């Protein structure tokens, strides 16, 4: 005890207290930090922990099929061996996966560059081909791998890190019976991040792996076709091993869309359109001194009483299978390049041109509504002049005083020139009256022109009715440019400068010559084939303008729920039933004794009354557009060929061949019901089996009864 | 004492009854009565909590546990048992007896540490700090060095003072003590086991503080440490990635796949626990094995996630009790030798606990240090229990020295 005070000096005591304080402040620090992490920010970390250990496995839904009216699949799915590359895995490698892609190129027999382009990401500076889907999703390189190639990749998986070869359901456009139907069906491509964000809170949110419809029916009915992917959420450990299952969402296969398209008729329509264009290219054009170019064309076959589309073809066309599994650079250039002539366009709904004489049914209705008598006497002179300007009859011939019906039959321009010019004058001419009627323009609007028909296909164009309002709006939009160009006047006196000068000074006015040209469907008027089909179908069915439809029914994958797409109308023709009957009989006259008669020689008119109107529209700087609008009591067929020549000349044989196939009419005019494809429109849906599958007989390409059925002109 | 039961009639009734074993243990001046039971029970509680946490962390780690989910649990209990036995042995020998054996123990620990650098050494987690011994076991000699350095320095520093020659150790003694510490520190630095070096630094500081060595030595030592760190950083002795790895505890994005990953996952595990935790064996981070080294260095995250603030706080409180009792023992020791040994152990436990828990909480850099008593690991468990034995021995032998 005695030496204790000596050893335990105050220095040591103080130091021990210091140690003690230090130790406990360290522990307090730990306690405080623990409180901060667990109590103050606990929720945040708890959320993070939750997301840490849940992995989603997405099993994409099988996309629904697109079927024709009898159940033949126009678009369905096929299991193919898809080789895809994971970008994230490739980027982890030192050379960004170059070596792996090189080896893959050798196995697949592709070039290094081709493969590298496929896995690069699309941005504003990167041209196609590139990947515009999610960078975290495997990028398909080919969907045409052979079993041999897939095995090579799988067996040497150490040589191909990040590369997978899996059997995958891919879209197939089977073109049954050669019915390609490309523009109507549309195509798919991977969803973009933007679209995922947009659809996040909607009824059908998109997944990274989704493909969505980009055009045509694939786009229009995308919500139904896509179905819902099955999402299984697994709780996983740090190595991704599954240790439990979290809430999951059941998947649902996409519904099928039954269309009113008949693959057999579609195939004929496509073939006939193509043939008509090929034939037109053999025909010499007097005006330009070259053969017709026939650069594009479209044909629509529609049920007259419902507006349902039985066939719709657009030319030039393409193979929609090119899009499946990512489009190649060559194909993409081929489809969208400057020299491609844009085969992706569905010219039946997106091609617009002046209608030419098939517009005269509208002019006729306008005249009658303006108070002219259908059976009155109207001089069909060989030309019509105003103030030194001479407007010729199309072929330059006169027919004396004729009724409006006869004017339709022989397609007499001067009759309509005069009527329209008179109405223009009544409305005040260059100085429009306030209470003017604008009969000719109003009637065009009432016929549904200048507005989309509402067909169930995306991106339909509206065409144009060049009325006084449009003239003014167009002038407002363009006068600055015109007036600038017109400054060169009078030093420069070419046609362009002249037009610009006129436009600058008087472009806001609807001139007399505008109204004269307008009466016969020339000038600034633009229509689409589908609009004209709707109008001629309405004349056939007693005046109802239907929204054309391609989709007929949506059938749930189990076949239990069928949602019919019913014909809807967007208006009535502004004609009395009497007028309609008169026009109807005049159009029958066109087929019997008028401008289309030479194309319908031997047609069994008494059994299947045929109605037609030809049109040949002039386009500045181009060859004439051929229009041919026809109908029976069941069907309406409208065909157009750009730079194709005359209406009956270029389009006539093709349209007749389609009718021949529909009704089973031989080139000689005999009706054989056995060869008739569709003498009555298909009213019922294809048979749906108990398990939801829809079976249809495989079809063969239709062969016309006679090898050269087109008949010879006159 | 020679009385036999057969001659009961002639026996003389003893004034005090003969003590049975229990009696001996519970006698007023017995070792058992004099033990610091609070300290002992706290350590035992920590070890048992550790065994449960180790069990939770390793149940699913089939790659480690030889397909026996109780492997680590049972081994932890076994280690605790061996630790207890070592502590008992230490008390039985007494720290003063050991004082004579210090040179041998010291030399042994240096040799063991050196052996690590030979082909006998094993590298685990990038650090060559293990000694593989036959039978599939391995030793971490650095753990023993913590004890031998404490004892060795205490012996040198306290010798003259306890003899009554000087009130404080003189400079020469301090130099000798530092020289003694420097040898094993250098060897461990070569392994390199930076975590243990840091602990040894704390121990040396604690020992010097408690020895009453001149303030200049304390400041000098701290100053050297600071200057050394700055020099390493400024002179570019470390690669950028090493600095990033070091700093990743504060900013996990500096080393996202390495230390940053550990730090981040550890923080998520602890933070996710909240007040009461997800319940034992129900932590998703633990079950999912998101935290690496969870049964050893990151054992605290299991407590944080599954037992919450209350359970993890309990570990800190228990450690606090251990350190409080140790401080008491240091204060009440009648000789400087005991005080220094206790202070060395305090510095060791306190710093190692702070560093270990601090790194799981993201306030200290990540190093491979176990949490005393709780982390799985034989050598560490043995070392801390020997240290507890030393503390108890200092306490038990106090009256003896007092009556000297």
On the 0-12 / 13-18 / 19+ scale of CB atoms within 10 A, A509 is middle
pLDDT reading at A237 higher than 50: yes
Report the pLDDT value the prediction gives residue A244, as an integer from 0 to 100: 66
pLDDT reading at A707 higher than 60: no
Count of CB atoms within 10 A of residue A278's CB? 11
Of A19, A31, A43, the CB nearest to B209: A19
Comparing A222 with A88, the larger pLDDT belongs to: A222
Query: Which of A438-452, A620-634, B6-20, B33-47 is the least confident region?
Result: B6-20
Spatial contact of A419 and A384, defined as CB atoms under 8 Å apart: no
Please state the domain extents for chain A: 4-52, 55-259, 263-334+348-355+526-663, 357-438+460-519
On the 0-12 / 13-18 / 19+ scale of CB atoms within 10 A, B369 is buried
Report the pLDDT value the prediction gives residue A710, as an integer from 0 to 100: 44
Report the pLDDT value the prediction gives residue A127, as an integer from 0 to 100: 75
Residue B351: its chain A contacts at CB < 8 A?
26
Report the pLDDT value the prediction gives residue A398, as an integer from 0 to 100: 87
Residue of chain B with shortest Cα separation from A242: B288
Do A38 and B309 lie within an 8 Å CB cutoff? yes
Among residues A304, A260, A262, the alpha carbon closest in space to that of A533 is found at A304
Report the pLDDT value the prediction gives residue B166, as an integer from 0 to 100: 86
ipTM for the whole complex: 0.90
Residue A464's DSSP bridge partners are A526
Distances in whole angstroms, Cα of residue A503 to Cα of each of A475, A479, A480, A488: 7, 7, 10, 14
Spatial contact of A422 and A456, defined as CB atoms under 8 Å apart: no
Comparing A53 with B340, the larger pLDDT belongs to: B340
Report the pLDDT value the prediction gives residue A78, as an integer from 0 to 100: 83
Among residues A361, A364, A276, A305, the alpha carbon closest in space to that of A532 is found at A361
Report the pLDDT value the prediction gives residue A708, as an integer from 0 to 100: 43
Q: Summarize the confidence of residues A538-545 as an average pLDDT.
A: 95
Spatial contact of B326 and A24, defined as CB atoms under 8 Å apart: no
The token pair that represents A464 in the structure block: 């144009």
Q: Summarize the confidence of residues A623-627 as an average pLDDT.
A: 94
Assign B120 a pLDDT band (cuts: 50, 70, 90): confident
Of B212, B323, B351, the CB nearest to A9: B212
CATH of domain A55-259: 3.90.1310.10
Q: How far apart are CA A148 and CA B283, in angstroms?
A: 47
Residue B257: its chain A contacts at CB < 8 A?
none
Of B211, B353, B361, the CB nearest to A37: B361
Q: How far apart are CA B380 and CA B143, in angstroms?
A: 6
Render the burial of B67-94: b for 16+ CB within 10 Å, e for the rest.
eeeebbbebbbebbeebbebbeebbeeb
**First-residue to last-residue Cα distance in chain B:** 29
A80-100 pLDDT, tens per residue?
A: 888 888 877 787 777 878 888
Alpha helices by DSSP H, listed for A542-635, are 577-592
Q: How far apart are CA B72 and CA B54, in angstroms?
A: 7
Matching CATH topology for A55-259 and A263-334+348-355+526-663?
no
Question: Alpha-carbon torsion A468, A473, A478, A482, what sign?
Answer: positive
Distance from the A207 Cα atom to the nearest Cα atom in chain B, whole angstroms:
27
Distances in whole angstroms, Cα of residue B172 to Cα of each of A277, A450, B178, B179, B180: 112, 108, 10, 10, 12
A95-108 pLDDT, tens per residue?
A: 878 888 888 888 88
Prediction pTM value:
0.65
Q: What angle do CA A132, A459, A124 make, to 5 degrees?
A: 30
Comparing B168 with A395, the larger pLDDT belongs to: B168
Query: Which residues touch A150 (CB under 8 Å, ≥6 apart)?
Result: A81, A83, A165
Report the pLDDT value the prediction gives residue B126, as an integer from 0 to 100: 65
Residue B211: its chain A contacts at CB < 8 A?
12
Distances in whole angstroms, Cα of residue A637 to Cα of each of A375, A535, A668, B234, B292: 28, 11, 21, 87, 74
Spatial contact of A525 and A359, defined as CB atoms under 8 Å apart: yes
Do A53 and B402 lie within an 8 Å CB cutoff? no
Q: How far apart are CA A489 and CA A466, in angstroms?
A: 27
Assign B15 a pLDDT band (cuts: 50, 70, 90): low
Q: How far apart are CA A689 and CA A460, in angstroms?
A: 35
Assign A450 a pLDDT band (cuts: 50, 70, 90): very high
pLDDT reading at B3 higher than 50: no
pLDDT reading at A534 higher than 90: yes
Of B206, B288, B313, the CB nearest to A34: B313
Assign A713 a pLDDT band (cuts: 50, 70, 90): very low
Query: Which residues touch B266 (CB under 8 Å, ≥6 apart)?
Result: B291, B298, B301, B359, B360, B361, B362
Do A12 and B269 lie within an 8 Å CB cutoff? no
Q: Which of B154, B208, B268 to probe the A interface (max A CBs under 10 A)?
A: B268
Query: Which residues touch A5 (CB under 8 Å, ≥6 apart)?
Result: none
Spatial contact of B36 and B321, defined as CB atoms under 8 Å apart: no
Q: Summarize the confidence of residues B153-181 as an average pLDDT.
A: 91
The token pair that represents A641 in the structure block: 């060929």
Residue B313: its chain A contacts at CB < 8 A?
31, 34
Query: Which of A338-347, B130-139, B341-350 is the least confident region?
Result: B130-139
Residue of chain A with shortest Cα separation from B344: A19
Give the A:B interface size as CB pairs under 8 Å.
158
Report the pLDDT value the prediction gives residue A495, as an integer from 0 to 100: 82
On the 0-12 / 13-18 / 19+ scale of CB atoms within 10 A, A691 is exposed
β-strand pairing of A562-564 with A551-555: antiparallel
Query: Which residues touch B240 (CB under 8 Å, ≥6 apart)?
Result: none
Q: Summarize the confidence of residues B97-116 as an average pLDDT.
A: 90
| Helices B308-332 and B336-361: angle between axes, nearest 10 degrees | 160
Of A16, A43, A52, the CB nearest to B327: A16
Residue A45: its chain B contacts at CB < 8 A?
267-268, 270-272
Among residues A25, A56, A72, A10, the alpha carbon closest in space to that of A261 is found at A72
Assign A635 a pLDDT band (cuts: 50, 70, 90): very high
Query: Which of A4-13, A33-42, A516-525 is the least confident region?
Result: A4-13
pLDDT reading at A701 higher than 70: no
pLDDT reading at A400 higher than 60: yes
Do A50 and B334 lie within an 8 Å CB cutoff? no
Q: How far apart are CA A244 and CA A233, in angstroms?
A: 9
Query: Which residues touch B110 (CB under 8 Å, ≥6 apart)?
Result: B145, B148, B183, B184, B187
Q: Can you name the CATH fold of A263-334+348-355+526-663?
A: Beta-lactamase (3.40.710)
Spatial contact of A215 and A344, defined as CB atoms under 8 Å apart: yes
* Highest mean predicted confidence (pLDDT) among A68-77, A322-331, B186-195: A68-77
Do A35 and B309 lie within an 8 Å CB cutoff? yes
Report the pLDDT value the prediction gives residue A160, as an integer from 0 to 100: 87
B217-267 pLDDT, tens per residue?
A: 999 989 988 998 888 778 777 777 677 777 888 777 777 767 778 888 888
**First-residue to last-residue Cα distance in chain A:** 144
Comparing A122 with A586, the larger pLDDT belongs to: A586
Query: Which of A544-548, B191-195, B330-334, B348-352 is the least confident region?
Result: B191-195
Count of CB atoms within 10 A of residue A269's CB? 29
Residue B401: its chain A contacts at CB < 8 A?
none
Report the pLDDT value the prediction gives residue B16, as an integer from 0 to 100: 62
Q: How far apart are CA B339 and CA A16, in angstroms?
A: 9
pLDDT reading at A494 higher than 50: yes
Task: Using the structure block, give the residue that is written with the tokens 């057969």.
Answer: B6
Count of CB atoms within 10 A of residue A255's CB? 26
Assign B403 a pLDDT band (cuts: 50, 70, 90): very low
A150-167 pLDDT, tens per residue?
A: 888 888 888 888 888 887
pLDDT reading at B293 higher than 90: no
Q: Helices H, strands E: what count in chain B?
A: 17, 3
Do A52 and B320 lie within an 8 Å CB cutoff? no
B357-402 pLDDT, tens per residue?
A: 999 998 998 888 999 999 999 899 999 999 999 999 999 876 444 3
Do A26 and B402 lie within an 8 Å CB cutoff? no
Q: Summarize the confidence of residues A582-591 as an average pLDDT.
A: 95
Of B272, B304, B350, the CB nearest to A26: B350
Spatial contact of A263 and A699, defined as CB atoms under 8 Å apart: yes
Q: Which of A3, A14, A23, A238 to probe the B interface (max B CBs under 10 A)?
A: A23
Assign B14 a pLDDT band (cuts: 50, 70, 90): low
Mean confidence (pLDDT) of chain B: 86
Do B334 and A41 lie within an 8 Å CB cutoff? no
Query: Which of A114-123, A339-348, B125-134 is the least confident region?
Result: B125-134
Q: Summarize the confidence of residues A463-479 as an average pLDDT.
A: 91
Assign A5 a pLDDT band (cuts: 50, 70, 90): very low
């Amino acid at each position: 005890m005695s030496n204790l005070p000596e050893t335990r000096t105050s220095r040591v005591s103080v130091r021990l207290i210091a140690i003690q304080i230090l130790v406990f402040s360290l522990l307090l620090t730990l306690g405080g930090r623990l409180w901060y992490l667990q109590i103050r920010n606990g929720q945040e970390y708890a959320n993070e922990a939750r997301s840490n250990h849940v992995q989603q496995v997405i099993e994409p839904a099988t996309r629904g099929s697109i079927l024709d009216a009898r159940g033949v699949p126009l678009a369905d799915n096929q299991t193919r061996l898809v080789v895809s590359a994971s970008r994230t895995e490739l980027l982890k490698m030192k050379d960004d996966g170059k070596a792996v892609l090189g080896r893959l190129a050798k196995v697949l027999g592709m070039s290094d560059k081709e493969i590298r382009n496929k896995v690069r990401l699309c941005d504003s500076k990167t041209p196609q081909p590139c990947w515009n889907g999610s960078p975290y999703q495997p990028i398909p390189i080919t969907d045409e791998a052979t079993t041999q190639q897939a095995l090579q990749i799988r067996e040497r998986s150490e040589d191909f890190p990040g590369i997978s070869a899996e059997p995958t359901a891919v879209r197939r456009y089977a073109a049954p019976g050669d019915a390609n139907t490309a523009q109507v069906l549309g195509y798919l491509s991977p969803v973009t991040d933007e679209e995922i964000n947009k659809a996040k809170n909607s009824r059908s949110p998109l997944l990274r792996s989704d493909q969505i419809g980009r055009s045509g029916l694939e786009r229009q009915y995308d919500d139904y076709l896509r179905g819902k992917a099955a999402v299984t959420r697994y709780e996983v450990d740090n190595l991704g091993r599954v240790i439990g299952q979290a809430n999951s969402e059941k998947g649902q296969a996409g519904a099928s869309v039954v269309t009113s398209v008949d693959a057999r008729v579609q195939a004929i329509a496509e073939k006939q359109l193509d043939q008509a264009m090929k034939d037109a290219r053999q025909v010499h054009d007097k005006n330009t001194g070259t053969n017709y170019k026939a650069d594009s064309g479209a044909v629509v076959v529609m049920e007259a009483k419902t507006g349902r589309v039985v066939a719709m073809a657009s030319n030039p066309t393409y193979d929609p299978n090119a899009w499946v599994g990512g489009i190649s650079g060559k194909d993409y250039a081929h489809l969208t390049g400057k020299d491609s002539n844009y085969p992706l366009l569905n010219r039946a709904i997106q091609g617009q041109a002046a209608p030419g004489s098939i517009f005269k049914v509208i002019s006729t209705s306008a005249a009658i509504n303006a108070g002219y008598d259908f059976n009155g006497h109207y001089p069909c002179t060989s030309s019509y002049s105003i103030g030194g300007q001479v407007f010729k009859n199309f072929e330059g011939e006169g027919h004396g005083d004729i009724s409006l019906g006869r004017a339709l039959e022989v397609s007499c321009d001067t009759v309509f020139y005069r009527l329209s010019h008179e109405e223009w004058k009544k409305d005040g001419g260059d100085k429009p009256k306030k209470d003017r009627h604008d009969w000719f323009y109003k009637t065009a609007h009432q016929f549904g022109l200048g507005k989309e028909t509402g067909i169930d296909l995306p991106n339909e164009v509206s065409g144009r009715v060049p009325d006084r309002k449009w003239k003014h709006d167009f002038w407002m939009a363009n006068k600055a440019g015109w007036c600038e160009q017109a400054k060169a006047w009078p030093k420069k006196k070419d046609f362009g400068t002249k037009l610009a000068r006129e436009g600058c000074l008087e472009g806001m006015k609807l001139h007399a010559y505008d109204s004269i040209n307008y009466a016969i469907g020339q000038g600034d008027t633009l229509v689409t084939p589908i609009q004209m089909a709707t109008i001629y179908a309405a004349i056939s069915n007693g005046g109802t303008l239907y929204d054309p439809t391609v989709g007929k029914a949506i059938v749930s994958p189990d076949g239990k729920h069928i949602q019919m797409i019913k014909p809807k109308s967007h208006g009535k023709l502004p004609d009395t039933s009497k007028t309609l009957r008169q026009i109807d009989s005049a159009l029958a006259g066109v087929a019997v004794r008028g401008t289309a008669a030479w194309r319908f020689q031997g047609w069994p008119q008494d059994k299947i009354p045929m109605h037609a109107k030809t049109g040949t529209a002039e386009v500045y700087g181009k060859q004439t557009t051929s229009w041919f609008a026809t109908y029976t009591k069941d069907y309406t067929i409208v065909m157009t060929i750009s730079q194709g020549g005359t209406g009956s000349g270029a389009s006539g044989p093709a349209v007749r061949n389609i009718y021949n196939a529909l009704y089973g009419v031989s080139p000689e005019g005999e009706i054989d019901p056995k060869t008739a494809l569709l003498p009555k429109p298909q009213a019922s849906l294809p048979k749906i089996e108990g398990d939801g599958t829809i079976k249809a007989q495989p079809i063969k390409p239709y062969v016309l009864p006679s090898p050269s059925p087109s008949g010879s002109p006159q | 004492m020679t009385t036999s039961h057969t001659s009961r009639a002639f026996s003389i009734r003893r004034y005090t009854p003969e003590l049975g074993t229990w009696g001996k243990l519970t006698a007023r001046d017995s070792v058992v009565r004099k033990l610091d039971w609070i300290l002992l029970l706290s350590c035992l509680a920590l070890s048992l909590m550790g065994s449960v946490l180790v069990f939770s962390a390793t149940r699913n780690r089939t790659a480690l546990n030889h397909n026996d989910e109780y492997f680590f649990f049972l081994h932890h209990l076994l280690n605790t048992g061996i630790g207890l036995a070592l502590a008992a042995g230490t008390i039985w020998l007494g720290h003063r007896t050991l004082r004579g054996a210090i040179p041998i123990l010291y030399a042994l620990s240096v040799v063991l540490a050196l052996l690590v650098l030979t082909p006998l050494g094993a590298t685990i987690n990038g650090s060559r700090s293990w000694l593989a011994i036959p039978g599939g076991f391995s030793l971490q000699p650095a753990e023993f060095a913590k004890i031998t350095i404490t004892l060795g320095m205490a012996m040198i520093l306290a010798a003259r003072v306890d003899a009554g020659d000087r009130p404080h150790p003189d400079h020469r003694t301090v130099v000798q003590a530092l020289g003694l510490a420097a040898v094993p520190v250098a060897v461990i630095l070569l392994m390199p086991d930076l975590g243990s070096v840091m602990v040894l630094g704390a121990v040396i500081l604690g020992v010097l503080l408690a020895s009453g060595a001149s303030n200049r030595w304390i400041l000098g030592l701290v100053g050297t440490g600071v200057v050394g760190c700055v020099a390493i950083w400024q002179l570019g002795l470390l690669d950028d990635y090493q600095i990033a790895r070091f700093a990743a505890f504060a900013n996990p994005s500096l080393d996202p796949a390495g230390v940053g990953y550990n730090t981040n996952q550890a923080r998520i595990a602890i933070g996710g626990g909240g007040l009461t935790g997800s319940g034992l064996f129900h932590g998703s981070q633990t079950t999912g094995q998101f935290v690496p080294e969870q049964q050893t260095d990151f054992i605290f995250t299991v407590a944080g996630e599954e037992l919450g603030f209350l359970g993890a706080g309990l570990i800190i409180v228990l450690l606090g009790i251990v350190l409080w009792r140790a401080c008491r023992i240091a204060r009440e020791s009648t000789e400087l030798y005991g005080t220094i040994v206790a202070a060395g152990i305090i510095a060791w436990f306190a710093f190692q606990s702070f560093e270990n828990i601090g790194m799981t909480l993201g306030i200290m850099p990540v190093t491979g240090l176990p949490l005393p008593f709780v982390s799985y690991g034989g050598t560490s468990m043995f070392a801390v229990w020997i240290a507890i034995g030393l503390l108890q021995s200092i306490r038990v032998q106090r009256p003896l020295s007092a009556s000297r």
